[in-house]
Structure 1
């Protein structure tokens, strides 16, 4: 075993974490001609970057997140071609199952010139098999889909081909100005980016506390498609409107929240974002509930999965669904949407803290490097 004191590598930038945020920083650095090493404790990315919907939810963002998402969209399109992974430019269908939800979409379309196409009920059903309660919807054509089980690993391979040195199964033990001490030895670097998502507190606990960092746990499932048809778009619902910042300025959103509070308060208690995407093989990724804590209990409550299954079955107009897999995702959560901090000279902590890492990372990372390198 290599001692901690041995020199493992020397580069311009070392990135700790090979999830999508870490890879985005490595990609942005390579584009600037820097030499890069990536240190990852597991033998491949297994966290939030692969436990998600693979949904680039561009249009649903607002403010800085929208700016990052639009920039990231260009990188995803380029990377899909150069790294050779599956990507669909099929947008997102937002299904409205109540008149107040459709009013939100109409208001949203008025605010986003050309980014929202309203659909009647027939237009929704042309794209998605749903139950009888659909009143209309909208298409968000800028949104993207990738297969998260493939895309993150494909990006890592592509970066390795471009000269990024990956040290998998290697834990970062200490981060200091000018170097990272790992379980395999020291990596010297003029600049360091810590991109470990919700695990910032493992390295800088006071910093994490000061920024209000918590862990958001999600219940998600993979189910057989009961209709056996291709669903090219991601699919969102009225509950999704309550979770994405882009809809927050729509006056009718208050009506949606008040109605759901009266009719189904349990769904709001669970933080349910009722949505699904289709994997390339045809199965659906469905979810997802949200709960917040600095440290979560290890027990996965069955009633949360039952709630997700029942609500998706109702959305699809079927009595039951066949479950293939279940899992719990965990991502960083904080009051600010993007955590950027400088705990030491030449070191940046970078974390997407709203569950939109796949959507924004490739726009977020260049901004972090502008600050770090500038």
Structure 2
């Protein structure tokens, strides 16, 4: 008698099977468990090692717009609850946006006027009290609702908390075939009432036609961890004028057009590499700095040294510091598409969910409950 092959073996069954244990997948597991659903998570690696651990750990809630703002504010409540229940590190320090030119401050003035208390304008002294900055600061804004987590700890803490709630994780297990009611993995078959495909930028590995229609690409970032040159505690995340070009909440500010034109004129190399000059402080005191952006369906495997040199030089100038001591360097990759949220049903009972705008940590915990609300109509 011939024994069954591994992928023919019954492995598990659940109301909801989630493929991918990054923050988007875990967010769905968090809310599914709260609704009394049985949940299985399939993850190809031994632990989450993708975009969910390679970021700033910045809950940049306030600078979002449209649906992203709604998801972000709901996610804020969920992050605070998880910090208490799952034991993850969280800092409610807000965000300081540093303006080093009058056109940057003009954008912040318009943003603060439109957001009714969600942004507090700062003068030069108040900026320096909250964050270490160099010369040339004309003012800034404080976004008090934003938070920071340690991305290297947060998703692992959430996964451990979910396991304690009865969620079954199949680590080191690849999803080979997804069909209505069934996920065939490298270790066996899993029966599913519904399937959530939370595979980030790898949607095209499973549903290439869907990815092509959505215009899905990979965005590659360069980020670094450096020693804090000032040795002081920095509670908020710190953004710069370059950041004002990166977040949707600032798009409606009329002054942003003039700011973009100036930065493109004065710093063409920096705008060409998509610099978002910012930093956050890790619990150990080091700074996570970055980042640059490059887009392709299949990115080149080689990184120009210019990227790291540019980030280091501009961060040192922002900090008013000399040479920075680098502890680590890494490449982050996330999904990018014209629509910041890719949600699609390629077959009955199977839903693809990908945050295609680099704000998964900020929005996923608010997006997930709305996705789950709609699942009963998509039964297998």
- TM-score tier by shorter-chain length is over 0.9
Measured in 1, the distance between the counterparts of 2:193 and 2:103 equals 54
Measured in 2, the distance between the counterparts of 1:185 and 1:254 equals 54
Q: How does 1:267-306 map to 2 (within 5 A)?
A: 267-306=270-309
Measured in 1, the distance between the counterparts of 2:303 and 2:31 equals 37
Measured in 2, the distance between the counterparts of 1:255 and 1:210 equals 33
Q: How much does 1:130 deviate? A: 0.9
Measured in 1, the distance between the counterparts of 2:47 and 2:205 equals 19
Aligned residues, how many? 374
Structure 2 unaligned blocks of 5 or more: none
* Contact kept? 1:2, 1:184, Cα under 8 Å: no
Question: Which residue of 56, 62, 70 maps to 1:67?
Answer: 70
Measured in 2, the distance between the counterparts of 1:89 and 1:373 equals 36
Q: Does 1:122 align with 2:125?
A: yes
Question: Which residue of 7, 11, 15 maps to 1:12?
Answer: 15
Measured in 1, the distance between the counterparts of 2:376 and 2:18 equals 14
Q: How does 1:170-209 map to 2 (within 5 A)?
A: 170-209=173-212
Q: How does 1:320-359 map to 2 (within 5 A)?
A: 320-359=323-362
Q: TM-score by structure 2 length?
A: 0.98
> Displaced runs of 4+ in structure 1, greater than 4 A?
none
Question: Which residue of 122, 127, 134 maps to 1:131?
Answer: 134
SS in 2 for 1:4: helix
SS in 2 for 1:27: helix
Q: How much does 1:173 deviate? A: 0.3
- Residues 5-54 of structure 1: per-residue CA shift (max 9 Å, x gap): 01100110000000000000111111110000000000000000000000
Measured in 2, the distance between the counterparts of 1:172 and 1:28 equals 22
Q: How much does 1:180 deviate? A: 0.3
Q: How does 1:1-374 map to 2 (within 5 A)?
A: 3-374=6-377
* Contact kept? 1:55, 1:143, Cα under 8 Å: yes
Q: How much does 1:298 deviate? A: 1.0
Measured in 1, the distance between the counterparts of 2:298 and 2:48 equals 21
Measured in 1, the distance between the counterparts of 2:312 and 2:98 equals 17
Root mean square deviation, CA, Å: 0.8
Q: TM-score by structure 1 length?
A: 0.99
